[in-house]
Amino acid sequence: MPDDTKPEGASAPEPTSEPAAKPGAEQPAPAEAQPAAEAAPAASAPEKPPAAPAAGGQPAPKPAPAAKPAAAAGAAKPAAAAAPKAPAAMAATPWESDLTRALKEEFGDQILDFSSYAGQNFLAAKPEAAVPILESLKEIHDFDYLVDVTAVHWPDKPEPFEIVYIVYSFARNERIRMKIRIPEGYKPRTAVPVHLTANWLEREVYDMFGVEFEGHPDMRRILLPEEWETFPLRKENSILKMDQHWVQENLGIESGQ
Amino acid sequence: MADTFLDSTELVLNMGPQHPSTHGVLRVILKLDGERVLGTECVIGYLHRGVEKIAENRTWQMFAPYVDRMDYVAAVSNGLGYCLAVEKLLGVEAPPRAQAVRVILTELNRIASHLLWLGTHALDIGAITPLFYCMREREYVLNIYEKYCGARLTTHAFRIGGLQYETYEGFEKECLEFCDLFEKKIDEYEELLTGNRIWQQRLTGVGILTAEDCKEYGVTGPMLRAAGVKWDIRKAQPYSGYEKYDFEIPVRENGDTYDRYIVRMQEMRQSVRIVRQAVADIPAGPILAKVGKVIKPPVGEAYVSIEAPKGELGYYVVSDGSTQPYRVRIRPPSFVNLQALDKMCRGALVADVVAIIGTTDIVLGEVDR
Amino acid sequence: MKQLLRKVFLADLIEGLRVTFRHQHPKQIVTEQYPQERPKIGERYRGAPRLNINPDNGETLCIACDLCALACPENLIVVGWERNPETKKKELVTFTYDISRCMFCGLCEDACPVDALELTQDFEMASYTREGAILDRQTLENGLLPTRYRF
């Protein structure tokens, strides 16, 4: 309550200008890694423009028109000041370890980049490489527990769906994410042969985003009724726009709102 | 077995969604050969409220009360996971005092959640008495919540960056009183159940999941530990200051329903231990980190998971730099654990299905979200 | 051997029954006889909302800043105000609070800069109609009337 009554600028977020207050372990040295983040995706992006990872510092063309000036400003300012006040693209830093080198060797340019944000590592891969990478992670690198499969919808990007796989290794006590970006209508291969967990998780992705998985044993809706028409977590479906047709037919009420 | 009887046919039995032993609105379609289960199919979604969509239409703070409504018997754990995830995005950490209080409340919540599980699980098996005792003890925890934050079940106890409420007078004393009382009560439950021959016969060897199965199905929490994997996020990747406390991870070998029972009972004892340590040493200081009135995390994403009473509860949050979440993905332990139901039920008897659903410890609010 | 004896003499069952019978003692009764016996409600309990009035002059404490309406996740608070031409201050005219959608998260209470809106310890908010759950300014200031049962 005392914090609320303070007349500090109600609209501006608390200026986190004191980097000392930030937990050191959470953000692995953003200061010196910042310029590298700007450079790395810029190098990789020209080769594969459609598959530019969202993770990288390269601003995507449409969704963030303010991205370019912000990134430029961030580069111009001292890097330490730019890190907490993130530009419009995620200020990810490159991630390098024995694992990334091994994966790089095995998959080459199938993996677009390795990055790290807020102390969490993730890699972006080409969609067709997702399942082989998961398999390699499981068989060779001990990532034997698929934590989650989910998706994020970025409607303004050329490849609007970002499928996120989170895997964990009990032996290494390490959690990494793998992301693939797919265009509308693309059917990524299912991960069920590698991890049985993927069964329901992929069904949920289909249910919420309409992304079908190739070769999935049971590609049906899981939470919503089978006859439901929309995919609710797509951004074009606002919270008010739902399948009224189904509601009226099956529940006998005018609207589910 | 089916082909030894020439004219026997499979029977499809519909269990739920109104069946009391399915703990809510879970519908299980059982394929039976006589009394044996050949296969199951879960039909879920009856309680789907679109929590993830709601998140995209609320500000970061406003969404916090909604996560309480997923796993409503462990609302505090849900809130903790969400707050930690957003704090990770913001790059702030709750002050030490807030962390200690968070640990106390979350561990009390683990006890409350396990108590409800124990009561209903025993009720499913046929022991009615423990339910009343468990509810009675759970009431103490809920009273502490009520006094602390003003709500009993869907508490909204934590805020992003720390706590909203200072501890009330006598908070420490009441927590310690509860610990003293509760340790005796666990002995009582164990007297009632652990040695009981009916209880043992109903649970031993039922619904076995080996460690490999658990990993394959992504099963976490007490079920994984009952299968012999000593893994607890509180130890593996400590959060909210858990590394300061001294506790053990109870592990069993067989991975059957009885072992899960034992693991959960031991976990409650360990929770009491953590509460004692945390209450003894609540640091002084502020309870809310400087996060400002409007929470606007930088563009980015984070996955933070905590050890909820049911398993790994993860939040994958994506921010586009505005005051509203771009995406909040909740990785519910119940949902993933429930997937292994089919594996556990195959070959079991119908009566065992009830025990297996009970031991999975699902909360449908979390499965369906 | 000991195991066998325990089994024969039903020791495990008797142990359990001992616990059950210990609880037969009247001192062990914890049931609250609710309507007759009022439960003890925590001081911070978040129940029915109340709009506080200044006890000195009987005027509302609300300054019509609309912060509670902005903080509410369910958008259930509507603050109606008009500007007093003399003092140029905002004055509260209407205030509606829809408890049928309220989840008692307490965010409005936290947002209020003058402690005008408060969630009280009153937890009996049942009504027979949906309209009865929409509280207007008068109800909020006077407090909820006790429910009159229709039987």
State the angle between helix axes of C11-22 and B171-193 in degrees (0 to 180), rounded to the nearest 10: 140
Distance from CA of A3 to the nearest CA of C (A): 10
d(CA A214, CA A163): 14
- Cβ pair A195:B216 closer than 8 A: yes
pLDDT tens string, chain B, 369 residues long: the values are 445 556 667 888 888 787 777 777 888 888 888 888 888 888 888 888 888 888 888 888 888 888 888 888 888 989 899 999 988 888 888 888 888 999 999 999 999 999 999 988 888 888 888 888 888 889 888 989 988 888 888 888 888 888 888 888 888 888 899 999 898 888 888 878 887 888 888 888 888 888 888 888 889 889 888 888 888 888 888 888 888 888 888 998 888 889 999 999 999 999 999 998 889 888 888 888 888 778 888 888 889 989 889 888 999 999 888 888 888 999 989 889 888 888 888 888 888 888 888 888 888 888 888
Say whether pLDDT at A18 is over 50.
no
Which among B169, B320, A186, B184 has a CA at the least distance from the CA of C19? B184
* Partner-chain residue, chosen from A88, A89, A118, that has the shortest CB–CB distance to B89: A118
Q: pLDDT tens-digit profile of A154-196?
A: 888 888 888 999 998 888 888 888 888 888 888 888 888 888 8
Chain A contact partners (≥3 CB pairs within 8 A): B, C
* Partner-chain residue, chosen from B62, B154, B191, that has the shortest CB–CB distance to C16: B191
d(CA B40, CA B33): 12
8 A C-beta contact, residue B358 and residue B125: yes
Residue of C nearest to A10 (CA): C67
Q: pLDDT tens-digit profile of C119-136?
A: 888 888 888 888 878 888
Q: pLDDT tens-digit profile of C39-54?
A: 888 888 888 888 888 8
Q: Would an 8 Å CB–CB cutoff place C136 in contact with chain B?
A: no
Q: pLDDT tens-digit profile of A32-83?
A: 333 333 333 333 333 333 333 333 333 333 333 333 333 333 333 333 333 4
d(CA B18, CA C143): 38
* Partner-chain residue, chosen from A14, A120, A223, that has the shortest CB–CB distance to B45: A223
The amino acid that residue A127 corresponds to is P
Chain A CB contacts of B301 under 8 Å are: 90, 117
d(CA A16, CA A20): 10
Domain ranges of chain B: 6-368
State whether CATH 1.10.579.10 applies to domain A96-237: no
d(CA B265, CA A223): 32
Q: How far is CA A1 from the centre of its chain?
A: 35
Q: pLDDT tens-digit profile of A213-251?
A: 888 888 888 888 888 888 888 887 777 777 677 778 777
Say whether pLDDT at C147 is over 70.
no
DSSP string, B244-284: GS-------SS-SHHHHHHHHHHHHHHHHHHHHHHHHT---
Q: Specify the 3-state DSSP secondary structure of A4.
A: helix
Chain A CB contacts of B331 under 8 Å are: 147-148, 150, 166
Chain A CB contacts of C113 under 8 Å are: 4-5
CA angle, B257 then B262 then B264, to 5°: 95
Look up the CATH architecture of domain B6-368: Orthogonal Bundle (1.10)
- Residue A234 carries which DSSP code? S
Q: Which residues sit opposite A182 in a β-bridge?
A: A161
**Stretch (H or E) spanning B111:** helix B96-125
* Partner-chain residue, chosen from A26, A145, A222, that has the shortest CB–CB distance to B215: A145
Model confidence band, residue A88 (pLDDT cutoffs 50, 70, 90)? low
Write down all domains in chain C, each with its CATH number in brackets.
1-30 (no CATH), 49-142 (3.30.70.3270)
